């Protein structure tokens, strides 16, 4: 590595070295390093080797919970992980290694990318390229890619965080940005510190990073956990864990989850109740917060849960929330994870700010993602499903499992507000507008009972909320018996971050 003094400096800053990180992530003794001798040699005039500056990038194969992965990472003890001494060749090698072996890629990232000092060493500059980026792009539709931000990242290392199916950042230790404070000041004249520019709060709020944890050990453990839900490649199905929860367990408390008065539904409690105990891992909770997405298990089978948090914007999808939905529905489709949509969805977020953010465009992508998804799909209409956004609960042109709770309500518009729009003049001209509005709303609520829809076979079944888990467990078992593996679509649709 960079020598005892620099290793000690790394430890004094509270950070592990790249080798210690790999040791924590991998099964004991399983790391098989590639390119151990790569580096920059220093020779005397007679050609005798006097010293070597090792490459600031490590790569190799390791086992994680008994399954092979490619693990790569920057060695911050060597020139802060800057590009030199074999790194330009080793990084593309690691990316292609994962691609060709069809095994997951884990990136442990701490580095600043290129260094101006390297230009002087080379004696010339170069037109920018990203060697091996073709493999980085191809991997996203081929194998799971997960990244950990473990220090200050700019340039290519920062992009390696966003070009991943899942990413995690260590609070107070790592930052992710396009360029650091010196370049920001040179370009804009603004003085800003690293944490304010790209610390964990900013990185997770903007969706650049999916999760934030307190320590490196937690970050590495979370990577191991997320990989456990995913297959090694798109030609395999996700691995089933040993079931630890009663598949027939019911939860009578769900009968009172939806309040009689208009109040938010606790969707996180719903996720936890229906899934195998302790199996829910929420994805990007700080980004697009009205949308909720989680990895979970049903009788040991990995699935993706999607829903809304009505405490945020009433559950209406902002542009960011819609973008989050698209990204993780595509993830589920890429790696054959059946989707359960828990619907309490009032529609896209309305208002000037939402319109300026392009909510219609991104909301259209949600509907497209749902219709394009080829994985088994289940919908549980918990409460609201209105308008085009409500239509995103499933693709009606293919068979899906769909049930509703007795609290379900749906239509082109909710009764409240919809009556105002349809009967504005009637209400305004009434002797008592408030009473007239209430009378009209009562009439429409009677005909919008979910049981009337069921009588017309407009909904397949209305179930006791307590029975939700057993019904979904049965669906998941059937889904895994019928699912096929392979790339998405006839030519392998590209997954994009």
The DSSP secondary structure of 182-199, one letter per residue, reads HHHHHHH-----HHHHHS
Residue 197 in any domain: the answer is yes
pLDDT at position 85: 45
**Phi/psi-derived region of residue 233, left when phi > 0, alpha when psi is between -120 and 50, beta in every other case:** beta
Provide DSSP, 38-59: -EEEEE-TTS-EEEEEE-SEEE
- Burial class from Cβ neighbours inside 10 Å (0-12, 13-18, 19+) for residue 159 reads buried
**Which pLDDT score, from 0 to 100, does residue 414 have?**
63
Give yes or no for a contact between 482 and 376, defined as CB atoms under 8 angstroms apart.
Answer: yes
Cα gap 161→142, rounded to integer Å: 17
23: in domain: yes
Shared domain check, 223 and 261: no
Q: 3-state DSSP call for residue 427?
A: helix
**Domain ends where: 212, 227, 242?**
227
**Is residue 260 located within the same domain as residue 336?**
yes
Which 3 state secondary structure label does DSSP give 8?
Answer: helix
How far apart (Å, rounded) are the C-alpha atoms in residues 375 and 328?
A: 13
**61 and 148 belong to one structural domain:** yes
Are 53 and 77 in contact by the 8 Å Cβ rule? The answer is: no
Domain final residue pick, 227, 260, 276: 227
Contact 371, 449 (CB under 8 A): no
Query: What is the count of structural domains for the chain?
Result: 2
Residue in this structure with the two tokens 């970050």, named with its chain if needed: 219
In a domain, 91, yes or no: yes
* Residue 388 CB neighbours (<10 A): 14
Rounded to the nearest 10 degrees, the angle between the axes of helix 18-25 and helix 216-227 is 40
Classify strands 291-298 and 281-283 as parallel, antiparallel or unpaired. Answer: antiparallel
In a domain, 57, yes or no: yes
CA 165 – CA 186 distance, rounded (Å): 33
What is the pairing mode between strands 57-64 and 67-74? antiparallel
Residue 497 located in a structural domain: no
Q: Is 466 in a helix, a strand, or coil?
A: helix
Looking at the structure, do residues 85 and 210 belong to the same domain, yes or no?
Answer: yes
In this structure, is residue 112 part of a structural domain? Answer: yes
- Is 158 in the same domain as 215? yes
* 118 lies in some domain: yes
Domain limits for position 304 = 252-405+463-482
Same domain, 147 and 214: yes
Q: Give the 3-state secondary structure of 341-380.
A: EEEEECCECCCHHHHHCCHHHHHHHHHHHHHHCCCCEEEE
- Whether residues 215 and 320 fall in one domain: no
Shared-domain flag, residues 221 and 289: no
With respect to residue 100, please indicate whether it lies within any of the assigned structural domains: yes
Which two three-digit tokens encode residue 200?
Answer: 């964990």
Q: Which secondary structure element, helix H or strand E, spans residue 226, and what is its range?
A: helix 216-227
Question: In this structure, are 117 and 218 located in the same domain?
Answer: yes
pTM for the model stands at 0.90
Determine the 3-state secondary structure of 402 from DSSP: strand
CATH classification of the domain holding 380: 3.90.226.10
Does 258 lie in the same domain as 197?
Answer: no
Blockwise average pLDDT, block size 10, the chain, 497 residues = 89 92 96 90 90 89 97 87 64 95 96 64 70 91 96 90 96 91 90 91 95 97 98 97 96 93 89 97 96 97 96 90 94 96 88 89 90 94 85 90 93 66 79 82 77 91 97 97 81 62
Q: Name the DSSP class of 440.
A: H
Q: Is the same domain home to 205 and 310?
A: no
**Is the domain of 336 the same as that of 370?**
yes
User: What DSSP state is assigned to residue 5?
Assistant: H
Integer distance in angstroms from the first to the last C-alpha of the chain?
A: 33
């Amino acid at each position: 590595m960079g020598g005892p003094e620099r290793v000690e400096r790394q430890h004094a800053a509270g950070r592990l070295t790249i080798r210690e990180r790999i040791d924590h992530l991998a099964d004991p003794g399983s790391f098989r390093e590639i390119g151990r001798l790569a580096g920059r040699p220093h020779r005397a005039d007679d050609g005798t080797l006097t010293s070597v500056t090792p490459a600031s990038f490590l790569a190799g194969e390791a086992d994680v919970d008994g399954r092979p992965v490619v693990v790569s990472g920057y060695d911050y003890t060597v020139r802060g992980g800057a590009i030199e001494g074999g790194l330009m060749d080793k990084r593309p090698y690691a990316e292609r290694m994962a691609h060709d072996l069809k095994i997951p890629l884990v990136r442990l990232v701490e580095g600043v990318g290129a260094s101006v000092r390297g230009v002087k060493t080379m004696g010339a500059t170069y037109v920018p390229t990203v060697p091996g980026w073709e493999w980085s792009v191809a991997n996203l539709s081929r194998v799971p890619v997960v990244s950990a931000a473990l220090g200050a990242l700019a340039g290519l290392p920062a992009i390696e965080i966003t070009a991943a199916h899942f990413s995690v950042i260590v609070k107070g230790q790592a930052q992710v940005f396009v360029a650091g404070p010196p370049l920001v000041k040179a370009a804009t004249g603004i003085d800003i510190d690293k944490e304010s520019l790209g610390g964990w709060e900013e990185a997770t709020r903007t969706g650049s990073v999916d999760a934030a944890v307190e320590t490196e050990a937690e970050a590495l453990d979370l990577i191991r956990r997320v990989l456990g839900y995913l297959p090694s490649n798109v030609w395999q199905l996700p691995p089933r864990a040993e079931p630890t929860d009663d598949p027939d367990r019911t939860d009578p408390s769900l009968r009172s989850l939806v309040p009689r008065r208009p109040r938010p539904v606790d969707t996180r409690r719903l996720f936890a109740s229906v899934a195998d105990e302790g199996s829910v891992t929420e994805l990007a909770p700080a980004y697009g917060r009205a949308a909720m997405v989680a990895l979970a298990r049903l009788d040991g089978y990995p699935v993706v849960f999607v829903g809304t948090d009505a405490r945020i914007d009433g559950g209406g999808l902002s542009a960011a929330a819609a973008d989050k939905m698209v990204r993780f529905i595509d993830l589920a489709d890429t790696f054959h994870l059946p989707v359960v949509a828990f619907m309490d969805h009032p529609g896209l977020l309305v208002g000037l700010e939402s319109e300026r953010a392009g909510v219609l465009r991104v909301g259209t992508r949600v509907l497209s993602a749902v219709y394009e998804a080829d994985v088994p799909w289940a919908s549980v209409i918990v409460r609201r499903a209105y308008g085009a956004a409500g239509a995103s609960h499933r693709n009606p042109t293919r068979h899906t499992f769909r049930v509703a709770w007795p609290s379900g309500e749906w239509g082109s518009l909710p009764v409240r507000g919809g009556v105002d729009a349809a009967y504005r003049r009637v209400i305004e001209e009434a002797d008592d507008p408030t009473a007239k509005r209430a009378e009209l709303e009562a009439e429409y609520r009677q005909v919008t009972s979910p049981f009337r829809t069921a009588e017309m076979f407009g909904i397949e079944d209305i179930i006791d909320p307590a029975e939700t888990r057993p019904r979904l467990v049965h669906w998941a078992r059937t889904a895994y018996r019928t699912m096929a593996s392979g790339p998405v679509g006839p030519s392998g649709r590209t997954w994009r971050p």
